[in-house]
């Protein structure tokens, strides 16, 4: 069981705009689906609301102090509670923290793996990637790819937390 962060970021550091992704990159979404299938995904309320429904083939947990319920999802009041309940209820499943800002910022200390898609464009946005402790991450794998539909170059980089 691993606990991973998974996020895409623009050249100028943005991960969101107006409650959604500031790009449409189908190739990255395919990779996201493949990596997170048959796992637990933990997301903040705004990320859940932007997606609008639970992600199929995954156990979905929403972290919120204001939502009482979310169709097809478990709701926990804190990230730590969500992580602990995931480990207890799904001990053989990997856990992915899929956003937004607060989930990434508070989740870095718990994660042992980071999947980072670097999107090779500058965008306007209103949510930036938090300042991670990059000294504690080591690049393990890198796959450069071109998304035909958007015409955007990307790199999917897998990092492991250094001991």
130-163 confidence digits (pLDDT tens)? 999 999 999 999 999 999 999 999 999 999 998 7
User: Strand order in 39-44's β-sheet?
Assistant: 74-76, 58-63, 39-44, 95-97, 3-10, 113-119, 152-161, 137-147
Residue 103 lies in a domain: yes
User: What is the rounded CA–CA span in Å between residue 14 and residue 112?
Assistant: 23
| Average pLDDT of the chain to the nearest whole number | 97
Query: Is this structure's pTM higher than 0.75?
Result: yes
Long-range contacts, stretch 149-153, CB < 8 angstroms, 24+ apart: 149/24, 149/25, 149/26, 149/27, 150/23, 150/24, 150/25, 150/26, 152/23, 152/25, 152/119, 152/120, 152/121, 153/120
- Per-residue burial over 46-66, b = 16 or more CB atoms within 10 Å of its CB, e = otherwise: bbbebbeebbeebbbbbbbee
In a domain, 27, yes or no: yes
Residue 18 lies in a domain: no
Q: Is residue 9 part of a domain?
A: yes
Say what the pLDDT of residue 120 is: 98
pLDDT value at residue 113: 99
How many domains does the chain fold into? 1
Does residue 140 belong to any structural domain of this protein?
yes
Specify the CATH number for the domain of residue 96.
Answer: 3.40.430.10
pLDDT in the model for residue 163: 78
- Give residue 82's domain range: 3-13+23-161
């Amino acid at each position: 069981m691993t606990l991973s962060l998974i996020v895409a970021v623009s050249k100028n550091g943005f991960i969101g705009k107006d409650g959604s992704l500031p790009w449409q990159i189908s190739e990255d979404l395919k990779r996201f689906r493949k990596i997170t299938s048959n796992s637990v995904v933990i997301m903040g309320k705004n990320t859940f609301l932007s997606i609008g429904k639970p992600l199929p083939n995954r156990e979905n947990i929403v972290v919120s102090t204001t939502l009482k319920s979310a169709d097809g999802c478990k709701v926990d009041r804190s990230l730590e509670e969500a992580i602990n309940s995931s480990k207890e209820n799904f001990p053989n499943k990997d856990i992915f923290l899929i956003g937004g800002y607060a989930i990434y910022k508070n989740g870095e200390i718990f994660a042992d793996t980071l999947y980072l898609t670097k999107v090779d464009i500058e965008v306007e946005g209103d949510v930036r990637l938090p300042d991670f402790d990059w000294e504690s991450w080591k690049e393990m794998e890198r796959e450069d790819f071109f998304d035909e539909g958007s015409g955007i170059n990307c790199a999917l980089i897998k990092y492991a937390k250094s001991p």
